[in-house]
Amino acid sequence: MKALKYIYAICILFFGLTSCKEDYLDVVPDNVATIDHAFSDHVQARKYLFTCYNFLPSSTGFYDNPAILAGDEFWLPEAHYDNEYKNSPMAIARGFQTSVAPLANKWEGNNSLYVGIRQCNVFIDNIDRVPNMDDSEKIRLKAEVNVLKAYYHFYLLRMYGPIPVIRTSLPVSADPEEVKYFREPVDACFEYIVELIDSNIDFLPLNVPNAAEELGRITIPIAKAIKARALVLAASPLFNGNNDLTNFVGKDGEPYFPAFDNEKWKITADACLDAINSAHETGHSLYQVNAENTNLDEMMLLKATLRNRVPERWNSEIIWGDSKNSGSTSGYQYWAQANLSNRLAASKQALAVTFNIVDEYLTKNGLPTDEDITWDEANALEYRLSTEEDKYHIKTNEEIPALHFGREPRFYADLGFDRSTWHWQGVTDVENPRFIFSRKGEQSGKKTIWEYNVTGYFPKKVCSPANIFSSDGTYIRITYAFPIIRLADLYLLYAEAVNEYYGPSEDAYNYLDMVRERAGIPKIMDSYAKFSNNPSKPTTTDGLREIIHRERLIELTFEGRRYWDIRRWKKGQEYLNQNVFGWNTEVLEKDDYYQKRKLGLRKFTKRDYFWPLRDYHLTINPNLEQNPGW
């Protein structure tokens, strides 16, 4: 009990008063507040293991994952900004972040990742004394928790920049001043994360021994993928040679951010390839629907593949899935799903995709619309009549804007829009699917100030085709472990790192093309040679960088990657400081509906690249400096 009281005291000094509410004391399974009991046998120790995993931020929780609402992918009806979500990360997108009470705070409070790190240290310090547990299991569990600890440090580093690194638990006899930690230079933070993973990776399994119970627990491919992602961040412009932060120094005068070092991209490329090879060794591959088990034609087979690459449970592409928070995918789908019934709405359908995401998607030739010589940009907003050739994507004989025609397959698999198809979800006949009718008063249109889509575009990608939308309005949602890391992500990270260090090369093209070919678009050199107004673009480092960045933004949209990528590339002011546009979904008539209108303004300044520390916390620990601009 003395040890637990000490932890409480440390918690107050380091994390601030708000981090030590009653639920922090509930760190021991079954509410028995003794460390001795938690490690008294193998059953209790395994329960404690899951308290370490319990701090994994939810991939699809609106409050837990700022990447969903703080970026530029979504916009909500105005009523939500003044009510239950006014203090959610979407307020960050509107410029309302504050150092008085930071939104999506992971430094302190009940969701503090530092509390999670402390839990990991307690586990590491005590697991060896558990009786009746095999030494081999102890070694594996300790390695898992060490990698979790590395991931929590990575997550904090990505949000806050230089952070205190908590290598070990302090002894009970430690001086109170010892808990007033200092922030460390970012390179020291990255080195610690990599070293922690490297020193534990050989003690992890290649695959979980018991898939039914252990999916989502740390394995060798997961650990290598975390390492690769950390090194990508270290090599990227936000952390590597960030001249905007040259004068940001610690108490000893040492700069927190290093000078540019291109060799970091070589180290990153090697780590990405190692992670890819490990994933391949354990059977991971880009997801494809098995054609032998379907009677779908080529187009619908491709659409089924793309629709399922995220929500099909534990498919071949998912290296690490968020199994702890799989239940939250139900809420994500509830907000994303278009109402497909004329009955009372069974879905919120308020998570609206912004126009800039729609514009991001490529043409059928695999090019941005402003680079495709076959694309008629001048008439993109003019009406075009859908025909039988469009039936798998758009309802036949409907007049809608030309920008919805001739786009890449992911455009139709990932997005729903007025008069577009919504296949499966209780309808097995692909020739007679349901459709979105999203004008005011229609089944997918506005009915209340809360439950409607303000832009006219729905994130179909995150809604499982296995869900059932019955004719009576009942909506049955199938939950799934949302991907934290999937193979396409690693392929594109590797292509990016190779291009940054070696320039355009076969390796960069090959891994980029594997993702493009799965998406149903031509290889990069074919696209640019045949259809581009700038055919030499992929032959330069700058040109290929732009192509790879855009491919990541498309392939990984709605998955929580876009927001962090934009920040690490230092493109926040380009993407996240813009007006938000959508169709005029407040009306019924077609000519009125298809009027592009401004919905709001996203705000992003240089200070927003890193989260503020809470002002009050700085008074508790004067060894810490506030991030620049706050």
pLDDT of residue 610: 98
Q: In 282-352, which residue ranges form alpha helices assigned H by DSSP?
A: 298-308, 328-336
Rg of the chain in Å (alpha carbons):
25
Fill in the amino acid letter for 512: L
Quickly count: other Cβ atoms within 10 Å of residue 380's Cβ: 15
Query: Using CA of residue 35, residue 41, residue 47, residue 48, what is the dihedral sign?
Result: positive
Q: At 498, list the tokens.
A: 């190779």
Torsion, Cα 318 214 558 423, to 10 degrees, reads 70
Fill in the amino acid letter for 271: A
Contacts 24+ apart (CB under 8 A), 437-442: 438/338, 438/585, 439/585, 439/587, 439/588, 439/589, 439/590, 439/593, 440/585, 440/586, 440/587, 440/588, 440/593, 441/588, 442/588
Mean pLDDT for the chain? 91
Q: Write out pLDDT tens, residues 212-253.
A: 889 999 999 999 999 999 999 999 999 999 999 999 999 899
Quickly count: other Cβ atoms within 10 Å of residue 215's Cβ: 18
Q: Which residues of the chain have pLDDT under 50?
A: 1-33
- Please name which of 255, 244, 238 lies closest in space to residue 184, comparing C-alpha atoms: 255
* Coil, strand or helix at 122: helix
pLDDT of residue 2: 38
Task: Tell me the C-alpha distance between 89 and 67, whole Å.
Answer: 8
pLDDT of residue 255: 97
pLDDT of residue 174: 59
Task: List the Cα angle 609/612/617 in 5-degree steps.
Answer: 160
pLDDT of residue 341: 81
Quickly count: other Cβ atoms within 10 Å of residue 344's Cβ: 9
pLDDT of residue 257: 98
Would the pTM of this model clear 0.95, i.e. be above it?
Answer: no
pLDDT of residue 343: 67
pLDDT of residue 474: 79
Q: Write out pLDDT tens, residues 430-478.
A: 999 999 999 999 999 998 898 899 999 999 999 999 998 877 767 899 9
